[in-house]
Chains A and B, each alone.
Chain A
Amino acid sequence: MSVAWNVLAAMLRALGLLATDPAWGTKGEAIARFLALGALALERGEAGRADLEKLAAHIDTMVAQGREPTEGEWADLRARSDAAHAILQEAAKGDPTPEPESPADDSEGGTKD
């Protein structure tokens, strides 16, 4: 199942590359972007499903053992959450505008004011 989704996603990405051919013009770019998003959806959807299945199985085990989550299990989730949160906040800032290189006369303390 997982392999099938990933193969399909790879095919979509390949088709997207074909659509970037200049002969397709701007529509080709739009199609390529759409196909890339479709591929991403397949890959993420499958990965998310697998992660949720794993989590559900973990909860089942916890219930069967009649125990509460351990501090290590909490810490593991918190570390993953903190890492994902940092990525999201960074991505929301957008691409940083490259700062121009300092002109040589800056070191001499000159200003234009």
Chain B
Amino acid sequence: MHDIKKLAAAVCVVAMMALSACGSLNPVSRAETASQKTYALYGTFVVFEEQAAQIAQDSNVSLEVKRSLAAADAVAKPVMDKSVDLALTVDGIREDLAEGNSTEELLVIATENLMKWYLDAVPKVQALVAAVRGVRK
């Protein structure tokens, strides 16, 4: 019995090592433009959303945990989806501008609006990441 407990403790250590390695990666920090940053944040969100979905499908996970993951996702997803819509708008305006069919001022306004939603989405995505990592510990 004690051997199994020691093994379980070792598993926790190994899992935390794996997670800390995971945490050292930050795709958002690699991005430069507003659209790239939004894409990187959205991609990170999707990676953890998919992990949450897989955890939620495991029969060993309690309903309470599944609901906490779903709740964190439900908070982040609408804001993230809106950010994506705005990023597409920004990209559209940029293309129009290149063809002489829009203005620099419009691009600035749209980009600022995108960044507002992006900054609003960051803590919500972080909350989902924390929820997923909390289940694993």
Chain A contacts to B: CB under 8 angstroms:
5, 8, 12, 15, 19, 27, 31, 33-42, 44-49, 51-53, 55-56, 58-60, 62-63, 68-69, 71, 73-74, 77-78, 80-81, 83-85, 87-89, 91-92, 94
Q: Does any Cβ of A come within 8 Å of B70's Cβ?
A: yes
Nearest A residue (CB) for B1: A27
Asked if B44 is an interface residue, CB under 8 A from chain A, the answer is: yes
Q: Once the chains bind, are B57 and A55 in contact (CB under 8 Å)? A: no
**Given A44-B54, A87-B53, A59 and B27 touching (CB < 8 A)?**
yes
Given contacts A45-B19, A52-B27, contact A37 B14 (CB under 8 A): no
B58 to chain A: closest CB distance in Å? Answer: 6
Question: Smallest distance from the beta carbon of B39 to chain A beta carbons, Å?
Answer: 4
Cross-chain contact B8 with A63 (CB below 8 angstroms)? no
CB-defined interface of B12-46 with A at 8 Å, one 1/0 digit per residue?
Answer: 10110011011001110011110110011011111
Q: Tell me if B50 and A45 are in contact (CB < 8 A).
A: no
- Contact A51–B47 (Cβ < 8 Å): yes
- In the assembly, what is the distance between CA of A51 and CA of B27, in Å? 10
Interface window among B79-87, B102-110, B116-124: B79-87
By a CB distance below 8 angstroms, the chain A residues around B5 are 31
Residue contact A85 to B39, C-beta cutoff 8 Å: no
Determine if A69 and B30 form an interchain contact, defined as CB atoms under 8 angstroms apart. no
Q: Among the listed B35, B55, B63, B80, which residue makes an inter-chain contact with A69, where contact means beta carbons less than 8 Å apart?
A: B35
User: Of residues A31, A38, A71, A94, which shows the largest number of chain B Cβ atoms within 10 Å of its Cβ?
Assistant: A38
**Are B60 and A37 in contact, with the CB atoms below 8 A?**
yes
Q: Give bound CA distance, A63 to B30, whole Å.
A: 8
> Are B46 and A81 closer than 8 Å at their CB atoms?
yes
Q: Are A91 and B35 in contact (CB under 8 A)?
A: no
The reply to whether B15 and A41 contact each other, CB–CB distance below 8 Å, is yes
Complex interface: chain B residues within 8 A of A39 (CB): 11
In the bound complex, residues from chain B placing their C-beta under 8 Å from that of A34 are: 8
Whether B51 and A44, one on each chain, are in contact in the complex, defined by CB atoms closer than 8 angstroms, is: yes
A85 & B77 in contact (Cβ 8 Å cutoff): yes
- Contact call A84/B46, Cβ cutoff below 8 A: yes
Report yes or no: B55 in contact with A55, Cβ–Cβ below 8 A. Answer: no
Given contacts A42-B15, A84-B50, A92-B67, contact A55 B136 (CB under 8 A): no
**Residues of the B chain whose Cβ atoms lie less than 8 Å from the Cβ of A44:** 51, 54-55, 136
